[in-house]
Chain A
Amino acid sequence: MSDPKRLLEENTDEFENELLRSVRADAMTDRNRQRVLAGIGLATAGLTASTAAASTSATSAVVKAGFFKSVSTATVKWIAICSVAALVPTAAWVARSQRTISVAPPPAATSPAIAPVARAAEPPAAPLGTPPANDRTAPANDVTPEAKTAPATQAAQPAASATLADEVAALQVARTALAGHDPSGAIVALDHYKSRFPSGKLGPEATVLRIDALTQRGDRATASAMGDRFLAAHPHSPYADRVRSILSAPKGAAKDTPSR
Chain B
Amino acid sequence: MIKNREAGNSAGVISEAQPALASAFLPEPSGAPMAALAPADDRRFRQMVGQNLDFIWRCLRRMGIASGDVDDAAQQVFLVAASKLAIITLGSERAFLFSTASRIAANARRSVHRRDEAHQHLTHRGQEDSPSQEELSDQLRARALMDTVLSEMPGELREVFVLFELEELPVADVAEVLSIPLGTVGSRLRRAREDFHDRVNRMKASGVSRGQR
Q: Which residues of A contact B (CB under 8 A)?
A: 1, 3-4, 6-8, 13-16, 18-23, 25-28, 32-33, 35-37, 39-42, 46-48, 50-51, 53-54, 56, 58-59, 61-62, 65, 104, 107, 140-144, 147-148, 172-173, 176-177, 179-182, 184-185, 187-189, 191-192, 194-196, 214, 219, 222, 225-226, 256, 259
Q: Tell me whether B34 is interfacial, beta carbon within 8 Å.
A: yes
Q: Are B30 and A222 in contact (CB under 8 A)?
A: no
Which residues in A have their C-beta under 8 angstroms from that of B78? 36, 40
Chain A residues, CB < 8 A from B49: 37, 40, 42, 47, 51
Q: What residues of chain B lie closer than 8 Å to A191, measured between beta carbons?
A: 25, 29, 31-33, 83
B interface, over-half SS? helix
Q: How far is the CA of A256 from the CA of B107 in the complex (A)?
A: 13
A185 touches B76 (CB 8 A): yes
Q: Which residue of A lies closest to B148 (CB)?
A: A19
Q: Is there a chain A Cβ closer than 8 Å to B197's Cβ? A: yes
Residues of B46-92 at the interface with A, using a CB-CB cut-off of 8 Å, are: 46-47, 49-54, 57-58, 61-62, 69-76, 78-80, 82-83
CB <8 Å contact, A173 and B76 = yes
A170 CA to B145 CA in the complex, in Å? 32
Our pick among A3, A25, A46, A194 for the contact of B32 (Cβ within 8 Å) is: A194
- Please give me the residue from chain B that is nearest to A178 by CB atom: B111
**Cα distance, A46 to B34, chains bound together (Å):** 15
| Contact call A54/B34, Cβ cutoff below 8 A | no
Chain A residues near B197: list those with CB within 8 A: 13, 16
Q: How far is the CA of A107 from the CA of B27 in the complex (A)?
A: 15
A36 touches B74 (CB 8 A): yes
Closest to A39 in B: B75
Say whether B96 faces chain A, with CB atoms less than 8 Å apart.
no
Would you give 30 A-B contacts (Cβ < 8 Å), ordered by A? A1-B182, A1-B186, A3-B171, A7-B165, A7-B193, A15-B212, A18-B138, A22-B142, A26-B58, A28-B54, A32-B70, A36-B78, A41-B34, A42-B49, A50-B47, A53-B43, A58-B51, A58-B52, A62-B53, A140-B43, A142-B42, A172-B72, A173-B76, A180-B104, A180-B111, A181-B111, A182-B107, A184-B14, A189-B79, A256-B114
B1 beta carbon closer than 8 Å to chain A: no
The bracket for how many chain B residues form the interface is 35 or more
Question: B117 on the interface (CB 8 Å rule)?
Answer: no
Task: Specify which of B37, B61, B72, B83 is in contact with A39 (CB 8 Å cutoff).
Answer: B72
Shortest CB-to-CB span from A171 to chain B, Å, is 11
Chain A residues with Cβ below 8 Å from B145 are: 19, 22
Can you name 7 extra interface pairs (CB under 8 A) apart from A7-B193, A184-B18? Answer: A28-B53, A58-B51, A141-B37, A141-B39, A173-B79, A187-B21, A256-B114
Name B18's closest neighbour in chain A (CB-CB): A184
Q: Is B154 among interface residues, defined by CB-CB distance under 8 A?
A: no
Q: Which of A107, A184, A189 contacts B21 (CB 8 A)?
A: A184
Check if B4 is an interface residue, CB within 8 A of chain A. no
Known: A141-B36, A195-B35. A180 touches B107 (CB 8 A): yes
